[in-house]
Every structure is written in C-alpha cells, then in structure tokens.
C-alpha cells in the first residue's frame, strides 16, 4: 500500500503499488471474462472442434444457423420473453406500491408484512415446489406460461418490495407533503411525484425481476415439459444431457441468450449500485 516516509500528494501511490494494483485487477478481470469469452469463441467453431484449445481455425456460423433454424430455440426465447416480461411488469408495479406504503405510512400490520417479505425470500424452492405443482395442476396451469409467471412472482416480489422500500426511504418526505398540500391524494402523490423520482430504483427492481426469471431453473424444469413449452433454462439443458452432447448448439444458443441480458445489464448497472445500497443501508 502507501509507504510512509517520502511525502507524496494525497491519494497517490508509488509506481510499485500501481503495478501491483493493476496486475491484481488484470488477473481478476481475466478470470471474470475468460469463461464467457471462451463460450463466444467456441460458438464459432464447427461442432467437431468444440473442444479444441486452439482459437477459431475454421470460422463458422453453422452453430447459429442450426440453432435458429433446426431447433425449437426461438420457441423457447418467445416463452421466456413472455414469462419474464410479464413477471417484470407485474412484479415491479405491485412491489412499488407496497414499498411505498411500507416506507411512508405507519399502518397496522406493517411489521408483520415486513417480516413476511423477509421470510418469503428465504423460502427454499423445495418447500413450495410440490404444493405449487399440485396447485398449478389443479388450475390447469402446468405447462402454461402463466403458471410460471405466478410462480416467479413469489421469488421476485418480496425482494423487490424490500428494495423499493429502501429506495423510497431515500426520497425526502417533504416532497410527499408538498404534494399533499397541493391537494393530491396519496395515490396521486405516489403516482405523479414519487414514482418518477424513483426511476433508478424501478430500473434496478425491474432488472432484478428480469434476471430472476431469465435464469430460473428449478421451477422451469419441473413445471414445463414438452419441447414446445420449455423456457430457455430448460431448453438449453436438452442440448447437453446424458444422451447427447451438442456443445456447438449449446454455446451458440447460450451466446444468443447472454447478449441481451448483458446489454440490459450494461444500461442498468449504473443504477445498480445506488439501488442496492439504498436497499441495504436503509432497510
């Protein structure tokens, strides 16, 4: 770290420290980046060379072509988008109203509600999965995207509400009061004043719901069967299982899945820090 002795301006470090810092960060970055990068590289190799250590020798888009045209991949994308999109919209909206109520009003039942939200986050998949399976079966929602949406809300909503509460806590109450003085009712205050101010928080929450649904495996594997109905997480498993190992298709599909997620992440990550820590420090 910083050596004492020779006076050095504040916040500057010696050349040795700089080198050490950059080396460590470079190694860490390499470890973080290489696996996804390798995935990208492999997706451009012909199926037969999927495991060669060499960089791309015969560049090919064959894997992508195969995945897009000969498999149900696009079906899965559509299923996932539908499920995840709906989960995000519903999840963000209802968790925002709850977060606001919990943040601004002291009302009977608030503490139990907070506890409920906290505890629901810890529910293991294992307790709920069988009863949910039965419940969805009796409602004939098995193999239906809607069933998965309902299920994902259980995962997304508690955490999002908790996070939104933290975010609303950082918005001064005076703004609400000003709105009330000007004659807005509580819903109006929420809708016209606070919600627009809470956009970063909403973005983070929406992103969280999106990622949760996009990457969920357990429920999707259990509730959706038949190639037509799978979502991405389930669909990709069919490329590599004990019977087949079509790594070429898997990598191509994985790249197509990862890119939109990573792009959205890029947009949101600026707000991610503020949203997360607001939720953490104020909860």
Q: Closest CB to other proteins among 60 and 276?
A: 276
Q: Closest CB to other proteins among 38 and 59?
A: 38
Q: How far is the CB of 47 from other proteins (least distance, A)?
A: 13
Could you tell me the two tokens for 224? 């959706």
Q: How far is the CB of 59 from other proteins (least distance, A)?
A: 19
Q: Closest CB to other proteins among 61 and 116?
A: 116
Q: How far is the CB of 52 from other proteins (least distance, A)?
A: 9
Q: How far is the CB of 10 from other proteins (least distance, A)?
A: 7
What is d(CA 102, CA 109) in angstroms, rounded to the nearest whole number?
10
What is d(CA 278, CA 283) in angstroms, rounded to the nearest whole number?
8
What b-and-e string marks burial along 111-124, b requiring 16 or more CB atoms within 10 Å of the CB?
eeeeeebeebeeee
Q: Closest CB to other proteins among 95 and 229?
A: 95
Q: How far is the CB of 55 from other proteins (least distance, A)?
A: 11
Number of Cβ within a 10 Å radius of residue 175: 13
Q: Closest CB to other proteins among 60 and 135?
A: 135
Q: Closest CB to other proteins among 28 and 61?
A: 28
Confirm if 166 and 283 have CB atoms less than 8 A apart. Answer: yes
Helix runs in the chain, H state only: 15-43, 62-70, 73-104, 110-121, 125-138, 145-169, 173-181, 186-188, 195-197, 199-214, 218-223, 232-237, 247-282
Q: How far is the CB of 79 from other proteins (least distance, A)?
A: 15
What is d(CA 66, CA 55) in angstroms, rounded to the nearest whole number?
21
Secondary structure (3-state) at 121: helix
Q: What is the DSSP letter of 47?
A: G
Q: How close are the terminal C-alpha atoms of the chain, in Å?
A: 34
Q: Closest CB to other proteins among 20 and 61?
A: 20
Nearest CA among 215, 213, 210 for reference residue 265: 210
Q: How far is the CB of 116 from other proteins (least distance, A)?
A: 6
């Amino acid at each position: 770290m910083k050596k004492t002795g020779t006076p050095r301006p504040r916040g500057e470090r010696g050349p040795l420290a700089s080198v050490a810092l950059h080396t460590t960060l470079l190694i860490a970055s390499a470890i973080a980046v290489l696996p996804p990068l390798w995935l990208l590289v492999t997706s451009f190799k012909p199926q037969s060379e999927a495991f060669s250590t060499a960089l791309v020798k015969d560049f090919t888009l064959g894997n992508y072509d195969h995945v897009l045209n000969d498999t149900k991949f696009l079906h899965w994308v559509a299923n996932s988008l539908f499920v995840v999109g709906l989960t995000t919209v519903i999840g963000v909206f209802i968790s925002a109203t709850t977060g606001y109520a919990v943040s601004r009003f002291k009302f009977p039942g608030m503490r139990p509600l907070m506890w409920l939200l906290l505890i629901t986050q810890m529910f293991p998949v294992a307790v709920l999965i069988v009863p949910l399976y039965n419940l969805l079966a009796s409602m004939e929602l098995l193999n239906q995207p809607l069933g998965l949406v309902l299920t994902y809300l259980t995962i997304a909503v508690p955490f999002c509400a908790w996070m939104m509460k933290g975010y609303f806590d950082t918005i001064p109450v005076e703004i609400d009061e000003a709105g009330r003085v000007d004659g807005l009712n509580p819903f109006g205050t929420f809708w016209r004043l606070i919600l627009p101010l809470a956009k970063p928080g909403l973005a983070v929450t929406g992103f969280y719901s999106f990622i949760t649904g996009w990457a969920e495996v357990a429920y999707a594997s259990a509730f959706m069967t038949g190639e037509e109905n799978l979502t991405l997480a389930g669909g990709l498993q069919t490329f590599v299982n004990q019977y087949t190992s079509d790594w070429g298709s898997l990598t191509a599909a994985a790249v197509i899945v990862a890119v939109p997620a990573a792009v959205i992440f890029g947009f949101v990550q600026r707000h991610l820090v503020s949203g997360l820590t607001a939720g953490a420090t104020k909860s």
